[in-house]
C-alpha cells in the first residue's frame, strides 16, 4: 500500500499537529508510522513576514499552497489550524474532520510585566491579530500595539530580544508543543473571546476521495465539528477577512444544546457588539448565521467602515 500523504506547514506547531493526526489515524486503523508520509509545504504566509497579511492576500496564504497540492493529488489530506481556514474553501475540497479541541484561551506572555493589568503605561505589545489588538485596546487604550509576525518560536525570540514588552499567543499551540510554561497570564474566554476555530485542528481532503474521507471520518470529534460549524457560520455571514476583528466561541451543553457567543469590534477597540445564542446542535450553522445577522443589524453600516486596518483576525 502506498503511504498516506499528509500535507502540512513546516513550523514546529504545524508538525506537532500533523503528528497528532497521524497518531490518531494509526490507533483508529491499526497502522504504523511507515504507512504515512508527512509532506512539508512552504506557504506564502510563512514566507512573507514583513507585511500584514491583509496587504498580500489574507489568512488563506497559510493554506493556499497546501490546498493546491491536495487538488493536484500530491498529498491525500491536509492538516490545518482551523482558525487559519478561510470561510470559503476551493471547489473540490472539504473539511472532512476536526480533532478534539484544545484549550481555546489566549495566553499573555509578558517580559516586563506578568499580566496585562500590570503593564506600564505605553508598553509595547506585539501581535499580528487584529482581534487581539482590538480587545487589548479596549482594555488598555494606553498601550502601543505593533504587528509581530512569525511562528511561535520567532515571536518569542523577538520578545526575548526586547523588540516588544509582551505578546499574546494561543494557549492551544503552546500546549501542543509542551510550552505552556512561557505564559505569564491565561486570559478567560469570556473576557478575551477567542478567534473562530481557535484551538481546533481540521483535516481537509478532496470531496471525491471516498477512501480518505472514510479514513479520517474515524477520528472526527463530533462535538468539535458542531462547535466549529456554528463559529464558521458566524464568520461566513460577517464575511470575515483579514481586516475584521471577530471573535466567537461555541460549546455544547447538556442535552445537546449549543451555546454560541460572538463579538465584533472596531479595530481601535472603541466600539463593540456582542451576542449570545442557544439552539439545537443540528442547527449549528444557522445559529452562527443568525447571531451574525443580529450583530450586523445592531452595528449598522457605519460600524464596518472602520474594518480596513492592516492585520489578521486571529
**Catalytic residues, which ones?**
84
Give me Rg for the CA atoms of the chain: 19
Residue 249: phi, psi to the nearest 5?
-150, 120
C-alpha cell at 45: 504566509
Contacts of residue 159, Cβ cutoff 8 Å, sequence gap at least 6: 109, 111, 126, 166, 167
Which among 283, 293, 298 has a CA at the least distance from the CA of 250? 283
- Dihedral, CA of residue 180, residue 186, residue 190 and residue 194, to nearest 10: -50
The upper half-sphere exposure of residue 95, i.e. CA atoms within 13 Å in the direction of its Cβ, equals: 25
Place of cell 489530506: 77
35 in Cβ contact with 107 (< 8 Å): no
Report the b/e string of 196-209 with b at 16+ CB within 10 A: bbbbbbbbbbbeeb
Contacts of residue 47, Cβ cutoff 8 Å, sequence gap at least 6: none
Which among 92, 101, 48 has a CA at the least distance from the CA of 69? 92
CB atoms within 10 A of CB 158: 16
Collapsed DSSP state (helix, strand, coil) of residue 29: helix
List C-alpha distances in Å: 84 to 89, 117, 187, 219, 256.
Answer: 11, 29, 21, 20, 27
State how far the Cα of 37 lies from the Cα of 179, in Å rounded to an integer: 26
Amino acid at each position: 500500500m502506498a503511504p498516506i500523504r499528509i500535507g502540512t506547514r513546516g513550523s514546529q506547531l504545524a508538525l506537532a499537529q500533523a503528528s497528532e493526526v497521524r497518531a490518531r489515524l494509526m490507533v483508529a486503523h491499526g497502522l504504523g508510522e511507515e504507512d504515512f508520509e508527512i509532506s512539508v509545504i512552504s506557504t506564502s504566509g510563512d514566507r512573507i513576514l514583513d507585511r500584514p497579511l491583509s496587504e498580500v492576500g489574507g489568512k488563506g496564504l497559510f493554506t493556499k499552497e497546501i490546498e493546491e497540492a491536495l487538488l493536484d493529488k500530491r498529498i491525500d489530506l491536509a492538516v490545518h489550524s482551523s482558525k487559519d481556514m478561510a470561510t470559503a474553501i476551493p471547489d473540490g475540497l472539504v473539511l472532512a474532520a476536526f480533532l478534539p479541541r484544545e484549550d481555546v484561551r489566549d495566553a499573555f506572555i509578558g517580559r516586563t510585566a506578568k499580566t496585562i493589568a500590570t503593564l506600564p503605561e505605553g508598553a509595547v505589545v506585539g501581535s499580528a491579530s487584529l482581534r487581539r489588538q482590538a480587545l487589548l485596546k479596549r482594555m488598555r487604550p494606553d498601550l502601543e500595539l505593533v504587528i509581530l509576525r512569525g511562528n511561535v518560536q520567532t515571536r518569542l525570540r523577538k520578545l526575548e530580544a526586547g523588540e516588544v514588552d509582551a505578546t499574546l499567543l494561543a494557549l492551544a499551540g503552546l500546549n501542543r508543543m509542551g510550552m505552556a510554561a512561557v505564559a505569564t497570564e491565561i486570559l478567560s474566554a469570556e473576557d478575551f473571546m477567542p478567534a473562530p476555530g481557535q484551538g481546533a485542528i481540521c483535516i481537509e481532503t478532496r470531496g471525491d476521495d471516498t477512501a480518505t474521507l472514510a479514513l479520517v471520518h474515524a477520528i472526527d470529534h463530533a462535538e468539535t465539528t458542531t462547535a466549529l460549524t456554528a463559529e464558521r457560520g458566524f464568520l461566513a455571514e460577517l464575511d470575515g477577512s483579514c481586516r475584521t476583528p471577530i471573535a466567537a466561541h461555541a460549546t455544547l451543553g447538556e442535552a445537546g444544546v449549543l451555546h454560541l457567543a460572538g463579538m465584533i469590534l472596531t479595530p481601535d477597540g472603541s466600539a463593540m457588539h456582542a451576542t449570545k445564542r442557544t439552539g439545537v446542535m443540528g442547527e449549528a450553522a444557522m445559529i452562527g448565521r443568525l447571531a451574525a445577522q443580529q450583530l450586523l443589524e445592531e452595528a449598522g453600516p457605519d460600524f464596518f467602515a472602520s474594518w480596513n486596518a492592516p492585520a489578521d483576525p486571529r
